[in-house]
Structure 1
């Protein structure tokens, strides 16, 4: 996908994050080439994007232990600090685009942390927390305690200034229905709706407290499976039910349970309005090619009293089943009345490069009927047109070396509060090379280069780091670079001296 990066103020984010968690470089990661720069210490995997799209030019937001934004031609736009991140997604708050993500301590498929919300300057403007002590949480790390117990899986905003999050609480439970001990232990799955600005809890729902409507027998994951736990003690609780997405429609909640292979629609009072099981149908009748399991990122694409249309990422594999099933994007029409039939409207996969992802992933509908799909544990995203034809595929690592959670395209203007970074040195062919970058800036058009007070040249911006060649300058000369165009126009770098050798 190509475009003139220099003249666009608005880009689109795509996310390879919301991870399960994306890790920073390991020996395996090193097999995939990294982008490195002279003016910045940032190192990030090359984002190899192939194909063309009729969808407006876009940026890709991803993570590899860092929250990261790429342009859709593979150029880095912004990389944040290293950490444990998840549930990273761009959203709107008070009419402005923001980035929300989870950060905290990671366990085996879960975590305990908070949600940070960053503005266009990449400053944290809100921090959403869930008080562990106040909510009587017990964790697998007991007696270690945490200040906030939000789980890694969701950070979805509502139209009312609230956020939907998941949480897990180690709870004693009868596991005899799934072949476990009567006095066993589970990871109870909870969902919360929290006011973003006040941290007030507006809704709380527990799977175990509603076990009459959501029985443990719905679970597909066997006791003792990787990540599911044996349930014999609170150090190794059964991973029930592993909620991985929540969305609010009106006053009701749509939730996805990975290990139950189920989608539940909850009424405002917490009762289950309907249940769709991806293996057995639940309240509905599955038809040809509508089976799914271990799914992620379930959302309504349309909704009425008679029927709903669901989009989901169907990675029907786990750590304990292996990678046998083809990973696809699915659009399902569900009749809420009458026949209660489930029919397949669309299924998307890359026939040339099929994916068999074990975990994570996302499904985002774009304009013109396009769909963006991320494959989680497999470091690849794809874009499909309205006919299901793949128009873009992108990789950012080899299999089993990188992972992510979701991927998004979204309008974004970066206006960093930092200064541009610059480095200058003398080359072997008697020139001076000036390297300039500005982490997070999206709409710089060109760079002015000053030596002392003299304007030496103006050069068009060319990707994350622009290389500008001048005549040879003395090694004690000072260089300052100034951004031209966009919201940061006129911002200058600090003054640096020309190095003796590049």
Structure 2
């Protein structure tokens, strides 16, 4: 796969920054080379159980990682450096897995693959959409990619399939929206793919349904920052910018950011209904039900008469600025009769409101709790059943750090690696300090330190890296650290030698 210049390997939708801005501090460790953003957590009430899954991208440092934190701010796992998006912990065949997109990012979309990892953090499936076989055109001319899955979705189904988006740079007549007749667009595609075989089971193109979804529905102006001018192949217009897909029965709920729309696709690809966040589309908007530039739209309930939909309502973009309050929303749609849209719930942090310009997620948890992530604004929030905020978590300064989505999910990690250990003697040689970590382990209870045939010390595990002071170890002594408790019980590190002043 050809490499794209680093200037293009940033997640879509960020606000431009300068290197003069302050860098968010990173947590470092003695036993590991990992450096990870501090997660500053404030709790005002009881949160739901589970770890926090994010893919923080550091705009100033130019790196990103798939990451798991506990909600006391401690790192649990960090994957390899790269461009990541659409990270979601999910279930596959009854087993918990991690699913994410990895690849190369243009402004607003990307070209890459989906990785599925097991509880040992080993890739068990890689899902691709063959660019050549699907006749994709990219915005990079001679540059080529082996897989053309877009950054925005990685949703598993109960049928062993995955839903993804893709962007095909396509020539189109833009005269109806004031553009050139021989213009270019970012045609949005939906794919359902068999995970084991990579067979495409369903394909849908927005441009191929232009009669049902005319370009006039698109809110993004030609030439707006992030939306593209449509003048040529390297600057295609962002019609329609799809950013989430879910499957219900044999039909699909699809979110279009730049159309400010949700539409429900029948199995043959026709549009059953269309909800436009500004005009209503097929529905009648009620007070406070308007939305735009939304993300992560999912059904919370569904019947033949009505559906409720939860979503993250940005209502801001790079070209509109940040004037609208970002909230979580739950809307009820009457599918028959009045076709009325009613607001059932809205969540936001009144003390520290957010005005996010891009990205974000909305996750219903147990007991009526909600987890919200604000994408380009590096803040995660949890609300209780009454709408009161019970947790704030920050992992960066605004416009310098971001994550496309965030989720809370139970997880038991059993790394296929061994614990990492560094041991250092004091300057006078009277004692040694042992540092131990195990990237990805979730339920180790304590650590034992073996030297020779004896257990020299033990200590309760304390966060990602546990620090243990041992009186009976000297410089040059060898030791092994053993995990106690959890699925990795009894796993031992490699033998290490105590060094001096390390």
State whether TM-score is above 0.5.
yes
Moved more, 225-234 or 375-384: 225-234
Q: 1:320 to 1:360 in 2, by over 3 A?
A: same
Contact between 1:19 and 1:376, CA under 8 Å: does it hold in 2? no
- Tell me how far apart the structure 1 counterparts of residues 307 and 106 of structure 2 sit (CA, whole Å): 35
- Tell me how far apart the structure 2 counterparts of residues 156 and 26 of structure 1 sit (CA, whole Å): 35
Contact between 1:21 and 1:84, CA under 8 Å: does it hold in 2? no
Residue 140 of structure 1 and its aligned partner are, at CA, apart by 0.2
Residue 431 of structure 1 and its aligned partner are, at CA, apart by 2.1
Normalised TM-score (structure 1): 0.94
Which one of 24, 28, 32 corresponds to residue 36 of structure 1? 28
Q: Say what the alpha-carbon RMSD is for the aligned residues.
A: 1.7
- Tell me how far apart the structure 2 counterparts of residues 310 and 63 of structure 1 sit (CA, whole Å): 25
Contact between 1:19 and 1:88, CA under 8 Å: does it hold in 2? no
Greater RCO, 1 or 2 (C-alpha within 8 Å, sep 6+): 1
Moved more, 458-467 or 420-429: 420-429
Q: 1:155 to 1:426 in 2, by over 3 A?
A: same
- Tell me how far apart the structure 2 counterparts of residues 213 and 28 of structure 1 sit (CA, whole Å): 47
Contact between 2:14 and 2:357, CA under 8 Å: does it hold in 1? no
- Tell me how far apart the structure 2 counterparts of residues 26 and 279 of structure 1 sit (CA, whole Å): 35
- Tell me how far apart the structure 2 counterparts of residues 29 and 92 of structure 1 sit (CA, whole Å): 40
Moved more, 44-53 or 243-252: 44-53
- Tell me how far apart the structure 1 counterparts of residues 169 and 469 of structure 2 sit (CA, whole Å): 60
SS, match of residue 368 in structure 1:
helix
Residue correspondences, number: 484
1:215 paired with 2:214, answer yes
Contact between 1:444 and 1:489, CA under 8 Å: does it hold in 2? yes
Structure 1 residue runs without a partner (length 5+): 1-17
1:291-329 per-position Cα deviation (integer Å, ceiling 9, x unaligned): 100000000001111111010000010001111100000
Q: 1:234 to 1:373 in 2, by over 3 A?
A: same
- Tell me how far apart the structure 1 counterparts of residues 376 and 385 of structure 2 sit (CA, whole Å): 26
- Tell me how far apart the structure 2 counterparts of residues 263 and 404 of structure 1 sit (CA, whole Å): 23
1:414 paired with 2:413, answer yes
Contact between 1:426 and 1:472, CA under 8 Å: does it hold in 2? no
- Tell me how far apart the structure 1 counterparts of residues 145 and 425 of structure 2 sit (CA, whole Å): 51
Contact between 1:374 and 1:381, CA under 8 Å: does it hold in 2? yes
- Tell me how far apart the structure 2 counterparts of residues 139 and 275 of structure 1 sit (CA, whole Å): 29
Q: How does 1:268-417 map to 2 (within 5 A)?
A: 268-417=267-416
- Tell me how far apart the structure 1 counterparts of residues 28 and 93 of structure 2 sit (CA, whole Å): 36
- Tell me how far apart the structure 2 counterparts of residues 184 and 53 of structure 1 sit (CA, whole Å): 53
What residue is the counterpart of 2:3 in the other structure? none
Residue 227 of structure 1 and its aligned partner are, at CA, apart by 1.8
Q: How does 1:1-16 map to 2 (within 5 A)?
A: none
Structure 2 residue runs without a partner (length 5+): 1-9, 57-63
What residue is the counterpart of 1:60 in the other structure? 52
- Tell me how far apart the structure 2 counterparts of residues 26 and 492 of structure 1 sit (CA, whole Å): 45
- Tell me how far apart the structure 2 counterparts of residues 245 and 321 of structure 1 sit (CA, whole Å): 22
Contact between 1:21 and 1:86, CA under 8 Å: does it hold in 2? no
Contact between 2:11 and 2:107, CA under 8 Å: does it hold in 1? no
